[in-house]
Structure formats: structure tokens, C-alpha cells
Structure 1
Amino acid sequence: MPGSPITPRRLAIVGVCVLSLVVCTGLAWWQWQRFESATGSWQNLGYVLQWPLFGLFPAFLFWRLRRLRAQHSGPPAEQPAPEPPRVVAPRRAPVVQDDVDDELAAYNRYLAQLNAADQERR
């Protein structure tokens, strides 16, 4: 990007940045005068500090976008070879012990049936 030609777009960007800085510096000066007046408050002083930052924001934005564009337009990075698809073994239904508790064993069998039906659907 260094040594790039001056284009109307670049001139417009610089113009927007300069205009933003000039307008926001003027607003900061206005807030400073309000702060020094009899009706001024600390809020006006806060605005005095904020307006120049607002004025510099467009320049920062365009600088950041240019940096990001330069990063992404560089040489493509080597991409790792794709992994082969993994083979997933089918799940087996859990072994149900019927001799522990009849009610618990019936509930476990019911859960095993639900699990098996869910696995078949997938």
C-alpha cells in the first residue's frame, strides 16, 4: 500500500477526517468557553476533553480498516490438510440388572428403549 496513487476516494477520506477534526475542535473550544462562563459546569469540561477524541475517531477508523485490509490481502496461509471423517461405532444399550429392584429395573428398561429409539432416528 505504500506508494499507492492518490485517488478521489482517498482525498474524500482525508477531507472527512480533517473536517471532522476541525468541527470537533471548534465544539471543544465552544465547550471550554461555556466552562469558563458563570453558568459553566464540570460537564462542559468533560465535553472539552471528549470532542477532540470524537474528531480523531474517523481517522482512527480509516487507519484501522486499512491495516485490517492489508493483513487480509497478504499471502494466504497454509491450510492444514483436512482430517479424515471419524467413524463412530454404534452405541450399545446398557446392561440392565433386573435382580436389584423390579421397579427400578422396569424404569431402566424403559430408558434403554427410549435411547435405542433415539439412536435409530439419528
Structure 2
Amino acid sequence: MPPNPATYDTASESTAGPGTLDGMKWLWTPAWIARHVAMVVLVAGFLGLGWWQVTRAAGGNSLSFGYAIEWPVFAGFVVFVWWREVRHARRGPREEHPSPPSSAAAGPEPAAATPAVRRPVRVTRVPAAPVAGAEDGELADYNRYLSWLNANPGASPGDYPG
């Protein structure tokens, strides 16, 4: 009976046939060996710290009961992330499905796609020219205050004479 194509995963199969380890050789590259070692070290360390907290909790430290639960949760999270990365790498890059051909009336497609991140546009700002004879009194006082603060860098705002 052939497998159901909707649920059948052929990523681990190779030309040598199903059930062989030939499809898993990519797990033994230097980068993956480092990931495996890091996972084992972290899980062992987190479980060891959890056991240490259990012994402290048994000795009367009530706060250690929470930590005794927390460290194994951290170890489980490391295993989860490692397993997810293995599955993600095993699937390989996703194939994008080509869009259906458009009609000739739709026009030509653009030559290059719009980039996802655009460079910022630098714009020089020119201060607005004040209208002749219509200067705001409060604005003029505030500008004098700011220029006094700029001229007296060590002074506090309470020292302003105006």
C-alpha cells in the first residue's frame, strides 16, 4: 500500500532507500556537531542545577522549590529549540510556487522587485521664514531664554534673569 502523499515525508529518504542513515549525514557537519554538543551540555547543566535546587529545597530553603521546577523547564526549552532547528533544516528551503501566468492585457511585470527595506531619504530642512511684523511675543521670550541657556552652560534654569 503506497503512503498517503499528503502526510508522507520523504526528506529523510535518499537513493539508498528508506530506513537508511544516508539522508542524515548533514547532521554530522562541524556546525551541527557544535549544536548537538551545546544542547547536551545545556540540558545536562540545567538538569544538574535543578537537582541542586531540589537538595536545597529538601534542606529547608522554600524558595528553591520554584527553582527546582524552573531549571528542568529551561532544559525542555533547549531540547524544543534544538528539535525545531533539526526539523527546519531537514525540510530545506521552501520552494516558492510560481504565480499563474497573467494575461497580456495586464502589462509587463517590473524588472526587479521592490526591496523590503528601503534606505532613508535625507532631507535638509530650512527654517520657515517668519511673517514680517507678526512675531509672537511668547515665542520671542522663549527663544531669548534658550539662547541665554546656550550662552551659560553651567547655569540652572532658575538663574535666568528674565
Which TM class, normalised by the smaller chain length? 0.5 to 0.7
Q: Residues of 2 paired with 1:50 and 1:44: CA distance?
A: 10
TM-score (norm 2): 0.42
- For 2:96 and 2:90, the matched residues in 1 are separated by 12
RMSD: 2.6
Query: Normalized per residue, which structure has more helix?
Result: 1
Counterpart-to-counterpart distance in 1, 2:84 and 2:33 = 17
In structure 2, C-alpha distance between the alignment counterparts of 1:76 and 1:31, rounded to whole Å: 49
Task: Give 1:72 shift.
Answer: 6.4
- Separation of aligned partners in 2, 1:37 and 1:73: 52
Distance 1:8 1:72 in 2: 18
Q: How far apart, in 2, do the equivalents of 1:11 and 1:69 lie? A: 14
1:74 — aligned with what?
94
Note the C-alpha offset of 1:81: 5.8
Equivalence for 2:158: none
Does the alignment pair 1:11 with 2:61? no
Gaps of 5+ in 2: 1-10, 13-22, 108-162
Taking CA–CA contacts closer than 8 Å with sequence separation of 6 or more, which of the two structures ends up with the larger relative contact order? 1
Name the residue aligned to 1:107. none
Q: Deviations over 1:53-99 (max 9, x none)?
A: 212323322322343455561332233567x59xxxxxxxxxxxxxx
Aligned residues: 83
Are 2:89 and 1:48 equivalent residues in the alignment? no
Give me the whole-angstrom Cα distance separating, in 2, the residues matched to 1:79 and 1:15: 43
Structure 1 gap ranges (5+): 86-122
